[in-house]
Structure formats: structure tokens, C-alpha cells
Amino acid sequence: MTKAFPSAILTLFCFIGFSQSYSQPSIHEIALSFFDPLPAVMPGAEQDSSALINLGKKLYFETALSINHSQSCNSCHNLNNNAAGVDHLTVSIGALGSSGKRNAPTIWNAGLHVAQFWDGRAKTLSQQAKFPIFNIKEMAMTSESQLIERLNTKGYLADFRRAFPKQTSPINLEHIAQALAAFQRTLISKDRFDDYLAGDKDAISQSEKAGLRIFIEKGCVACHNGSVLGGQLFMKMGIVNPYPNKKDKGKAHVTGNAADNYFFKVPSLRNILNTAPYFHDGAAATIEQAIEDTGWHQLGIKLSKEEVHAIKVFFNTLKNQKDKIKPDDN
């Protein structure tokens, strides 16, 4: 269960009060008040059959979903050889060579987020899956009928019939999205921080615990909490000190509400050291820059080099240790 924002703030204030007194709780106790281990099964996965998951995985790596057969979902959210689910570009390049306007977020643990995309325009994984296929700056397909013809030509009918046995015409956009979502619900990372939360206090080092304490004391945890250390809130980029990029108004593009200007979904910190560059616009090339800029723009503080390094050391505990994923795995 994710820690709600007001609850996280209250717990943070209590922690600061404790830290100034003679009786200080252990860092493990404090961590448990802010963070949850990742679940073994993602919500919604209970009804996903193996046939549906296998179809979704096959579609995830399928370049026929793009107008010129040049891109798959994996092109921007790379999973090959246990990659971090990103393309490491400032912004992604679409099938027709057009640049997007936002950094591609990791696909790992995406189904545990409150919504999809930086601006939250899709509430579920299946809703999200439909957007890139027809976006002219991404996969650029022109119609659902074109998509169905492509997959029929490539021999997908048997796969869809196994996944949707009660359907006479199983290949359609809704089923494509459902299959992709089912596969994505299997993408739950595994790391040492969860071992620590589960009770193995030796799973992380003393220096990593020291970094965790600084991460909490400085207030980062007010937004980066819960099971994915983020992903549950929309916060203004530049809430204390203005963020320089004023072109992208974030959630306001979806809601039309000026009050949502520059609000973006708080990113997850799971596996964060492997997902550079950072922020919605990819403006932070390194994790050090991302930590420094977040401290300044979101918290109004200038973190020392020692504090930045300590937080980075803590982030080592969040590295994904899941087994490798390959297109031909079944």
C-alpha cells in the first residue's frame, strides 16, 4: 500500500522531531513508515492467462506495430538483456524520425503508478498502450484496420485465438492493448531495498543506510515514497525555485486547467541509476545533477556534494536484479 502524501509529510515531521531528541528510532523503523516492498503480483494480473501474457510479450517486441516496421514498444522502453526499460535519449525518436517532447519513462513497475505518462493522460496500462501506436511522432500507424491487417499477415491469428478463445474475430485494438498490459504487469523489479524492508537489515550497507537517512531528512521522501518510491503524485516542477523549461505545461495540457501548469507525475526511483537522463524533459544528464536540481527546484535547498553522493549511494539499493528478458523468452 502506498503512503499518501499528507501521511508522508506528517511522518516526516515526526521523524525530524525524533531526530532532534535523545530517543531516535532506527533507520529501518523509519523506512518502514515511508516505503512498502514491491508486490509479488501486480494489481489486475490475477486474471491474466499465460496465453495473454505471451501474446503481449510478442507484441511488445513487434515492429509491425509501427508504420515502417522500424520500431516496437521495446525501441523506447528497452528490456533486452535486463535493460532498464528506457532508451537513454533526452527525448525519443519516432518511426518517421520525429523527436518527441518528453523523456521515455521506464516500463518497469509502471502498472503500480497512479496513472500513465508524465501528464497522466492514461489511467491504466491498457489505455496507455493505444496512444503510441497512432501518435505521428511515435509509431505513426494510421488506422486500426491497418494494424489488424498487419498482424493477420504476420500470422498472429492463432496467438490471439489462444488469448481470446471466445472471440470470433480476436484481433483488434482493444485486445492488443489488453495483451500488452498483461505483459507489462509482469514487469516488477527486484532489488536489495525490498530485502531490507522485508527484515534483512544486512541487505544494504552502512553507507547506503546513511544515504537513506539523508534522503529522508532532506524531505525527498515527501514525494518519493510507497512501493515504487514515487509514481503516486503529480507535483509542480519548480514548486520552490522555478524550473527553466516553461514550454511544457505538463498535466495542464490534459486538463486545460491553468492550476495544473508544470505539474508532472513524480517518477519512480526504482532502478534510478540505470535510467538516465532524468526529468520529463531529460534535462539532467547525470544522477548527481538530478539530485542537485531536485533539491533546489522542489525543496529549495542546496545539497552539498557529500549529501548528493550519499543519496546516490542509497540509490544503489534500488538497482533491478531481475533475470534477463529476451524477445524469444516464453
Residues acting as catalytic residues: 138
Q: Residue 239: phi, psi to the nearest 5?
A: -65, -30
Q: Where are the beta strands (DSSP E) in the chain?
A: 234-236, 263-265
Question: Are 164 and 84 in contact, with CB atoms under 8 Å apart?
Answer: no
What DSSP letter does each residue of 18-70 carry, written as one string? HHTSS----HHHHHHHHB-PPPSS-TTGGG--HHHHHHHHHHHT-GGGSTTS-
CA–CA dist 172, 70 (Å, integer): 21
C-alpha cell at 136: 505521428
Burial 216-242 (b: 16+ CB within 10 A, else e): bebbbbbbbbbbbbbbbbbbbbbeeee
CA–CA dist 216, 241 (Å, integer): 20
Residue 263: Cβ within 10 Å count: 23
CA–CA dist 155, 88 (Å, integer): 33
Q: Which residue has the cell 505518462?
A: 117
3-state secondary structure of 138: coil
Question: Are 36 and 226 in contact, with CB atoms under 8 Å apart?
Answer: yes
Residue 143: Cβ within 10 Å count: 10
Q: ω into residue 165 within 30 of 0, thus cis?
A: no
